[in-house]
């Protein structure tokens, strides 16, 4: 009895300590920005009711931006926090340029837990002869409508003092305010003509033209017109995790038209794709991690098209990853090489509709070994594969292909030898630091100045070697040597593998992008990216790596993930 009398209050005390400790831990978590990683923000963007369903791109941040800034500052190394805050100031200046507004003074006091921005249309008047004026919309929920109204009044008073003639217009029960430009409403130069309205004391809408606000208010009054009620949005959202801090919706044909306005309106992804495996609309739900962001995606088949179903399972391609050098700018591993280019085509088309400017793997191989080389390899690699590109965006990027040995692949390599000879390439044996290899070479006479003697130079078009149980093809001796003689023994997975391995469930393959190497080529190819890239540079300088993870695919939906690694350490 004495022992029981002693242990009972002790157990009660221990229980109280445990409960109080868990409660304190919960409060500590809530009092730090880390709760955004654990729980996310608002579940869904309520402002999608104002976004027309045909919008090209819609991004919703489901937490107040200053909370995200606090988390970034909290996770930053102490020596970098001052620089981090400076980057945040530069981002704010870029987003609020020419408005005279301050986020902390004019917006934060009344802003709710959401910011939704949309590219409503690539061209407001749909007239290519006067240039393209995209229509942008920003929707902000209000926690304090009086403070929001005061901020808007102050902004327009300053515009009036500066000499702008303000226009007040009642439309669908809301008061629109904007500065009229006269006859040239659509200038085509992209200059902002800010227009605002406060809707039902609940939302502040801002746009670069009053027509965008009219479209937004019209969309909100009809469930058939807005994205919040759209079937595609509801279908995709069911496939995604509920915890998130943001959503990104992309209408790929409309976005392609915005990025490439020089194309005819009749050109779409339908003409750039095969009849199957074409996606037309996608939704990505974003979560925060200590390393960056994880986006879970749902891509929907384009209208009138279907996808080839494929169940994600663990495959032999995972064993190829330790052979891939870290020096590659773009790396892909998977089980169906023939479908790789097809799956990436929607993304490649956004960069360059023909794909030729970015020189994806197929064009690169055909240019090096002869037209038809890529088709031969795609048909001959009937199992797992690993491929990579270095120095993308250059005329002759370095490349790598490897796959398990098989009778089909051996026959394909013989056909590749025949194709190389038809292109005038020579085939010769090569000893690469003890490993036998085959080199395809092209003999050239370099240009010389003066009376220097002519010299015949052999340029390497490609190399082939057997490494363990794999066939390996590469563009350069350095890349092939990196596969044959790794820097560490035993072989190690690439540095990015640890992150994707933490994602739950199997995959059908990965595409990894080293942003530091790819960025220069992207900026050179996309004029629009130069504009946005400059404005977003304070944020993009922290971007390190991007990994695309392919998941299950039905005849209507392709799921997957996007890992974005950031660094402020």
For every residue of 465-518, DSSP letters joined together read EEETTEEEEESSHHHHHHHHS-SSSS----TTHHHHTTSSS--SEEEEEEHHHH
For residue 353, pLDDT over 60 is answered with no
Q: How confident is the model at residue 347 (pLDDT cuts 50, 70, 90)?
A: low
Residue 442 φ then ψ, to 5°: -125, 125
Residue 11 lies in a domain: no
Domain final position from 515, 547, 562 = 515
Contact 37, 290 (CB under 8 A): yes
pLDDT tens, residue by residue, 208-255: 999 999 999 999 999 899 999 999 999 999 999 999 999 999 998 888
For residue 357, pLDDT over 90 is answered with no
Q: How confident is the model at residue 395 (pLDDT cuts 50, 70, 90)?
A: low
Q: How confident is the model at residue 389 (pLDDT cuts 50, 70, 90)?
A: confident
Q: What average pLDDT does this structure show over 159-186? A: 82
What pLDDT score does 529 carry? Answer: 59
What pLDDT score does 249 carry? Answer: 97
- Least reliable range by pLDDT among 148-152, 180-184, 250-254, 306-310: 180-184
Domain check: are 226 and 324 in the same one?
no
User: Structurally, how many domains does the chain consist of?
Assistant: 2
pTM metric for this prediction: 0.84
pLDDT tens, residue by residue, 445-499: 877 676 777 777 888 999 999 999 999 999 999 999 999 998 888 898 888 888 8
- Least reliable range by pLDDT among 309-318, 328-337, 345-354: 345-354
Domain check: are 244 and 330 in the same one?
no
Higher pLDDT: 479 or 532? It is 479
Q: What average pLDDT does this structure show over 95-111? A: 89
Residue 35 CA to residue 50 CA, distance in Å, equals: 29
Residue 512 CA to residue 561 CA, distance in Å, equals: 12
Domain check: are 246 and 326 in the same one?
no
The DSSP bridge pattern shows strands 57-61 and 426-432 to be unpaired
Q: Which residues contact 209 (CB under 8 A, 6 or more apart)?
A: 124, 133, 135, 178, 185, 186, 193, 195
First to last CA, the chain: 58
β-pair partners for 279 = 301
For residue 404, pLDDT over 90 is answered with yes
Residue 283, CA distances (Å) to 40, 44, 60, 72 in order: 17, 12, 11, 25
What pLDDT score does 23 carry? Answer: 36
Domain membership of residue 156 as a residue range: 46-231+239-252
- Least reliable range by pLDDT among 81-95, 269-283, 313-327, 412-426: 269-283
Six-digit token pair at 552?
A: 């299950």
Domain check: are 322 and 467 in the same one?
yes
Q: At what angle do helices 407-422 and 373-380 cross, to 10 degrees?
A: 170
Matching residue, tokens 């157990």: 11
Domain final position from 199, 218, 252 = 252
Residue 524 CA to residue 198 CA, distance in Å, equals: 40
Contact 232, 240 (CB under 8 A): no
Contact 316, 383 (CB under 8 A): yes
Domain check: are 363 and 436 in the same one?
yes
3-state SS, residue 279: strand
In 221-277, which ranges are continuous DSSP H helix?
Answer: 231-238, 252-259, 269-272
Domain check: are 333 and 448 in the same one?
yes
Domain check: are 410 and 508 in the same one?
yes
Q: What average pLDDT does this structure show over 417-436? A: 91
Which is it for the CA torsion 117, 122, 123, 129, positive or negative?
positive
Residue 149 lies in a domain: yes
Q: What average pLDDT does this structure show over 514-542? A: 68
Q: At what angle do helices 527-535 and 515-525 cross, to 10 degrees?
A: 130
Residue 268 lies in a domain: no
Residue 2 lies in a domain: no
β-pair partners for 426 = 441
For residue 377, pLDDT over 80 is answered with yes
Residue 304 lies in a domain: no
For residue 53, pLDDT over 90 is answered with yes
For residue 323, pLDDT over 90 is answered with yes
Six-digit token pair at 460?
A: 């390497």
What pLDDT score does 14 carry? Answer: 35
- Least reliable range by pLDDT among 141-150, 155-164, 205-214, 253-262: 253-262
Q: What is the SS3 assignment for 406-445?
A: CHHHHHHHHHHHHHHHHCCCEEEEEEECCEEEEEEEEEEC
Q: What average pLDDT does this structure show over 171-191? A: 68
Higher pLDDT: 216 or 508? It is 216
Residue 308 CA to residue 558 CA, distance in Å, equals: 9
Write down the mean pLDDT value for the chain: 82
Residue 103 lies in a domain: yes
Q: How confident is the model at residue 181 (pLDDT cuts 50, 70, 90)?
A: low
Residue 327, CA distances (Å) to 380, 446, 492 in order: 26, 29, 14
Higher pLDDT: 530 or 149? It is 149
Domain check: are 201 and 321 in the same one?
no
| Region for residue 370 given its phi and psi (left: phi exceeds 0; alpha: psi -120 to 50; beta: otherwise) | left
What pLDDT score does 532 carry? Answer: 60
Question: What does the buried/exposed string (b/e) look like for 302-325 if buried means 16 or more CB atoms within 10 Å of the residue's CB?
Answer: beebebeebebeebebbbbbebbb
What pLDDT score does 22 carry? Answer: 34
Domain check: are 349 and 492 in the same one?
yes
Residue 399 lies in a domain: yes
Domain check: are 82 and 213 in the same one?
yes
Domain check: are 350 and 495 in the same one?
yes
Residue 293 lies in a domain: no
Looking at residue 105, what DSSP letter applies? Answer: I
What pLDDT score does 191 carry? Answer: 43
Domain check: are 360 and 504 in the same one?
yes
Higher pLDDT: 193 or 387? It is 387
């Amino acid at each position: 009895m004495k022992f029981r009398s002693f242990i009972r209050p002790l157990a009660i005390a221990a229980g109280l300590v445990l409960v109080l400790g868990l409660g304190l831990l919960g409060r500590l978590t809530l009092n730090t920005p880390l709760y955004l990683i654990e729980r996310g923000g608002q579940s869904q963007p309520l402002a999608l009711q104002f976004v027309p369903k045909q919008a090209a791109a819609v991004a919703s941040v489901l937490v107040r931006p200053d909370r995200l800034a606090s988390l970034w500052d909290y996770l930053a190394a102490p020596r970098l926090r001052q620089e981090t805050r400076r980057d945040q100031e530069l981002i704010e200046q870029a987003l609020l340029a020419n408005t005279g507004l301050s986020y902390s003074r004019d917006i934060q006091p009344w802003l709710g837990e959401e910011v939704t921005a949309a590219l409503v249309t690539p061209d407001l008047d749909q007239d290519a002869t006067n240039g393209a004026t995209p229509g942008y919309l920003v929707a902000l929920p209000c926690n304090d409508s009086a403070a929001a109204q005061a901020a808007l009044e102050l902004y327009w008073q300053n515009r009036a003092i500066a000499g702008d003639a303000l226009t007040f217009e009642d439309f669908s029960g809301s008061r629109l305010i904007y500065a009229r430009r006269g006859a040239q409403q659509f200038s085509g130069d992209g200059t902002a003509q800010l227009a605002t309205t406060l809707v039902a004391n609940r939302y502040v809408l801002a746009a670069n033209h009053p027509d965008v606000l009219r479209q937004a208010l019209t969309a909100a009054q009809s469930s058939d017109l807005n994205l919040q009620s759209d079937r595609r949005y509801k279908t995709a959202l069911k496939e995604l995790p509920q915890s998130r801090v943001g959503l990104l919706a992309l209408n790929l044909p409309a976005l392609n038209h915005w990025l490439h306005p020089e194309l005819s309106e009749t050109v779409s992804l339908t003409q750039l794709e095969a009849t199957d495996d074409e996606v037309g609309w996608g939704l990505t739900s974003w979560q925060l991690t200590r390393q960056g962001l994880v986006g879970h995606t749902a891509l929907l088949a384009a209208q009138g098209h279907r996808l080839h179903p494929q169940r994600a399972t663990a495959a032999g391609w995972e064993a190829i990853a330790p052979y891939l050098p870290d020096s590659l700018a773009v790396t892909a591993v998977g089980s169906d090489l023939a479908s790789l280019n097809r799956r990436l085509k929607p993304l490649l088309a956004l960069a360059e509709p023909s794909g030729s400017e970015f020189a994806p793997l197929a064009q690169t191989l055909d240019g090096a070994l002869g037209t038809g080389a890529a088709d031969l390899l795609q048909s001959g690699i009937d199992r797992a594969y690993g491929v990579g590109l270095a120095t993308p965006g250059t005329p002759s990027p370095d490349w790598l292909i490897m796959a398990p040995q098989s009778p089909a692949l051996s026959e394909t390599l013989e056909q590749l030898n025949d194709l190389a000879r038809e292109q005038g390439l020579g085939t010769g044996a090569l000893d690469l630091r003890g490993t036998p290899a085959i080199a395809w070479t092209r003999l050239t006479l370099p240009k010389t100045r003066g009376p220097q003697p002519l010299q015949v130079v052999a340029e390497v078009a490609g190399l082939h070697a057997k490494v363990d149980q794999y066939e390996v093809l590469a563009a350069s001796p350095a890349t092939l040597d990196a596969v044959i003689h790794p820097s560490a023994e035993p072989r190690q997975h690439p540095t990015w593998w640890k992150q994707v391995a933490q994602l739950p469930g199997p995959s059908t393959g990965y595409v990894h992008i080293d942003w530091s190497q790819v960025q220069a080529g992207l900026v050179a190819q996309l004029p629009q990216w130069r504009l946005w890239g400059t404005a977003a540079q304070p944020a993009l300088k922290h971007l390190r790596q991007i990994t695309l993870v392919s998941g299950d695919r039905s005849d209507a939906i392709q799921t997957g993930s996007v890992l974005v690694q950031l660094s402020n350490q």
